[in-house]
Structure 1
Amino acid sequence: MKRQLIIATAAAAALVAAGTVTAVAVSNDGAGTARSGAPVTAQPAAHDAGSGTAQVQDRRSSIRMQDDDANGQEDIREARTAKVTASDAAAAAVKAVPGTVAGLDLDADRPGLVWDADVLGKDGKWHEVTLDAGNARVLNQHVDQDEDDDTRERAALHNARTDAGAAARTAAASHGTVTSVELDDDRAKAVWEVETVTNDGKEHKLLVDPQSGKLSAVPAHDADDDNDDDGADD
């Protein structure tokens, strides 16, 4: 099943986060590092006791951007503006919530430009982490209360030899900036589905095998289905 990445919008008293991360300098190959030369790190945000929700002093991204896809260029605009790569976002997410990343999505919403990360924590719970796309700072974090049967997805994540960050780096090496990574277990065999944008503005959808790490294009019939869905929305 595919899990929906949701940005928590609950209004709560702001507390100072336990730490921040250094801003990152990135390139289209997906290999982001801190501007100081050190790897990107993130500290867990402070929690409201008993609520399961992280509270951060400023929940807005350092990159102000509105969610506006009127001209169909939203993904391209977001990809060109983000300073944190998908692989760096994955690393920051598991630093905040130890576990395994199941999905990443670059999105402009009320907080600004952010990475939404879906993490299966070592505590066995699903966590949704919102990260600043400008510096990987944790903006929000909470436990997902979704009661859907996710046994298949959990097993696929547990058995994967290639994680979300590695899948993102593989796709970025030859296909530009990654804007989304998701473990798709609706197929006969689970696979990482990765969306990218190249410098010429073209969007690509790719598949990365969780076991071998091999990159491949989305099958033609899947691409046709996507085109049909796009047409149905018009």
Structure 2
Amino acid sequence: MKRHLVIATAAAAALVAGGTVTAVAVSGDGAPSGRPDAPTRQADGHGRPGTEDAREAAAAKVTAPQAAAAALRAVPGTVTGLDLDRDRPGLVWDADVLGKDGRWHELTLDAGDARVLNQHVERGDDDDHARERAALRTARTDAAGAARKAAAAHGTVTSVELDGDHRARAVWEVETVSKDGKEHQLLVDPDSGTLTTVPAHDADDDDNDGADD
């Protein structure tokens, strides 16, 4: 469910070479349509360049903590992931919840009013979530808390995910968009609540890893 930051390497290379950069439309899952090497940056409503995440962040009326609260009203438990995305119903928050019933639930909420548009129980091998369950048992900072910390430091949150697979220990991975349109990736320790910023090259490496999943 995690969204990945768009690094406009192709755009920079084209400008250095004296070429012309052509904007393309971006599909709901963040993948560019049209030329595969075209950047995904487009102009925002004020004529400034912007990314898909930046436009979605500006359009959403429901914040990540509010989406988490709405998801828990529908399914009591613990939110393990939130992702702001433009989907078929429109702009939505996708939420993952470990319910008090011990099952993993996936919900889609309207990013305008937090209405639950869809929900279902995830089917699959629960061994994939073993580290997440273990981390949640001792976590003092939940998804909403991680989102609030990240928003206070770097703008509007577009994604929160408890990553228990790609690091030495489980952490909250949070993606934000600041007012200048820049995207940031941050890590929040679920036990201490400590916030750290991921350097740009490390975030790029994470994206490349995710592309192979």
Structure 1 length-normalised TM: 0.67
Deviations 1:177-196 (A, max 9, x none): 00000001121111100000
- CA–CA separation in structure 2 for the residues paired with 1:222 and 1:112: 31
- Structure 2 match to 1:225: 205
Identity of aligned residues (%): 73
The corresponding residue for 1:199 is 179
Determine the C-alpha separation between the residues in 2 that align with 1:221 and 1:114.
Answer: 29
Alpha-carbon RMSD across the aligned residues, in angstroms, is: 2.3
| Structure 1 residue runs without a partner (length 5+) | 6-65
Structure 1 residues 202 and 185: CA distance shift in structure 2, 3 A:
same
Structure 2 residue aligned with 1:158: 137
Q: C-alpha separation between the residues in 2 aligned to 1:89 and 1:165?
A: 9
Name the count of aligned residue pairs.
170
**How far does the alpha carbon of each residue in 1:185-213 deviate from its partner, in whole angstroms, 9 at most, with x for none?**
12111110000000110000000010111
- The Cα offsets for residues 49-101 of structure 1, whole Å up to 9 and x where unpaired, read as xxxxxxxxxxxxxxxxx737643321111000000000110011011100000
- 1-structure distance, mates of 2:184, 2:94: 20
- Give the 3 Å change call, closer, same or farther, for CA 198–221 of structure 1 in structure 2: closer
The residue that corresponds to 2:113 in the other structure is 135
Q: 1:147 aligns with which of 115, 120, 125?
A: 125
Q: CA deviation at 1:224?
A: 4.4
**Equivalent-residue separation in structure 2 for 1:198 and 1:92 (angstroms):** 24
User: Equivalents in 1 of 2:160, 2:93: separation in Å?
Assistant: 11
Q: Which runs of 5+ in 2 are unaligned?
A: 3-26, 33-39, 42-50
SS class of match (2:78) = strand
Equivalent AA in structure 1 for residue 170 of structure 2:
A
Distance 1:163 1:108 in 2: 24
- 1:226: Cα distance to partner? 3.6
Gap change, CA 1:227 and 1:189, over 3 Å in 2: closer
Indicate which of 185, 190, 194 corresponds to 1:210. 190
State whether residues 156 and 178 of structure 2, in contact with CA within 8 Å, keep that contact through their aligned partners in structure 1.
yes
Pairing 1:1-234 to 2, within 5 Å after superposition: 4=1, 67=28, 70=32, 71-72=40-41, 73-149=51-127, 150-186=129-165, 187-218=167-198, 222-226=202-206, 228=208
- Give the partner amino acid of 1:214: T
Map of 1:44 onto structure 2 = none
Q: Secondary structure at the match of 2:80?
A: strand
Please identify which structure carries the higher helix content: 2
Kindly provide the amino acid, as one letter, of the partner of residue 117 in structure 1.
Answer: A
1:127-182 C-alpha deviation (Å, 9 max, x unpaired): 00110000101111110112241221111112111000000000001200000000
User: CA offset at residue 223 of structure 1?
Assistant: 2.6
Give TM-score scaled by structure 2 length: 0.73
Rounded Cα–Cα distance in structure 2 between residues aligned with 1:192 and 1:134:
25
Shift of 1:222: 2.7
